Copies of this chain bind each other. A is one copy, B any other.
């Protein structure tokens, strides 16, 4: 065992306590009421970077939530990695389904429960802990390390891309490292080599200027909630295909090799179904579950609301109906083009008896890695050393829109070394991180620094 891994083993409870500290800060980025918590979380990260050994750690104001930058550049001539992550978290609704408070990190059976545990505070800290381990045990680190930790990932990273473009020099690096994804499963370490993009829209249909009595008016006016149902239903066919004209035009087709590779992964539909508690799985006809979530676009209602939602029976025709819908995109779909296609289609099929508003809430590009890049191979070795098994390569269904920006603007390969697990309940009640993943993740991050230096 190396001095670095010995240090990490000795400092498990220190690192766990630090994780709990940041998890107690309710840094929900979408809600203006949490503005002060966002600032507190940014300051906590800044201080933690300094304490870990960064020689520079600072908060950069943006038009939105601040970005934290840190660096340790004490290895001239060695490669430089840029660790990207985010300190903001998703909202906690429905709060009543949490077993313990979302901002009261609680250990149960080897897992730590809290909003942000896996997404992404726990995964940010593995790299901070790794740098600290190298500096504390060896007095140096095999690579130069930069940190870029933002506060708007959960709301579309609006100010990050401009920041990256404006600070190309500050952020220049040989590889970008992102830990914001999951491993294939606990027994199958993996590296993520593809991400889906996102197009998120909000639809508002207005029927009348006020709510109407469903007895006096029922049958003579369009009910915007019924119209919303018609509209959403018309967007997807019974075969799971999205019915917006042009939607699939730019989709990069799965190759035979990729399909074979996905088919060889240790996936069981039945286990997957049981784990999420669905009566049956369903998706686009002609594709497997792993293909559907990794390599095919999707369309989901994320929220819908209209009319009376309390106890009992209120006989009202609502004046307005709202829905949030989002599409996960795959390479080469353009979020802005898709937003336009879907918006146009919605306006074309909505009945003339409702007013239609569609707002583009946010979007992000899909991304694919080059599997034969030395940085990806280095990451493979680091994961194998930490988890005892060579990682498989898989494509994630989620979106980290900024990954495409990193590749493009910094001209550096991206390593998506996520150490979460599929049952982490990201964005849902009772989010958690497995402590064994957190501890081994720190090892993997420390080894990655060594392997990248090795080339």
Hey, which bits of chain A sit against chain B, CB under 8 A? 30-32, 90-91, 93-94, 97, 154-156, 182, 196, 198, 200, 202, 207-223, 225-226, 228-234, 236, 240, 272, 276-284, 289, 292-293, 296-318, 321-322, 324, 326, 328, 351-355, 361-362, 396-399, 422, 425-430
Contacts and interface: CB of A to CB of B under 8 A. Distances in A.
A427 to B, nearest CB: 5
* Interface core residue of A321, A324, A353 (most chain B CB under 10 Å): A324
Contact of A315 (B218, B230, B321, B326): B326
In the assembly, how many copies of this chain are there? 2
A324 B182 CA distance: 38
Contacts of A353: 278-282
Given A302-B308, A302-B317, A219 B296 contact: yes
A220 B354 contact: no
Contacts of A296: 219
B236 A226 contact: yes
A219 B308 contact: no
A63 to B, nearest CB: 16
25 contacts: A30-B311, A90-B314, A154-B314, A156-B313, A208-B277, A209-B277, A210-B425, A210-B430, A213-B427, A214-B300, A215-B328, A218-B299, A218-B300, A218-B328, A220-B281, A225-B301, A226-B232, A282-B353, A301-B318, A302-B307, A304-B321, A309-B322, A312-B361, A313-B324, A313-B326
B314 A303 contact: yes
A107 to B, nearest CB: 20
A335 to B, nearest CB: 12
A94 B321 CA distance: 13
Given A209-B276, A315-B200, A317-B302, A219 B283 contact: yes
A220 B302 contact: no
Contact of A307 (B303, B317, B355, B425): B303
B221 A278 contact: yes
A302 B314 contact: yes
Given A226-B232, A232-B226, A302-B313, A293 B217 contact: yes
A308 B292 contact: no
A399 B305 CA distance: 26
B303 A306 contact: yes
A220 B293 contact: yes
Given A233-B229, A315-B198, A281 B221 contact: yes
A308 B28 CA distance: 14
A309 B309 CA distance: 12
Contacts of A328: 214-215, 218-219
Nearest to A219: B298
A242 B198 CA distance: 36
Contact of A213 (B222, B279, B303, B398): B398
A194 to B, nearest CB: 12
Contact of A211 (B156, B208, B293, B428): B428
Nearest to A311: B30
A26 to B, nearest CB: 14
A186 to B, nearest CB: 15
A182 B282 contact: no
Given A91-B308, A312-B361, A354-B279, A426 B213 contact: yes
Nearest to A215: B398
Contacts of A230: 229, 232-233
A292 B219 contact: yes
B304 A217 contact: no
B233 A429 contact: no
Contacts of A217: 276, 293, 397
A282 B221 contact: yes
B30 A292 contact: no
Given A219-B283, A221-B278, A302-B308, 9 more contacts: A91-B310, A198-B215, A214-B298, A217-B293, A225-B302, A280-B351, A302-B315, A304-B304, A314-B324
Contacts of A303: 225, 306-310, 314, 316, 318
A289 B217 CA distance: 9
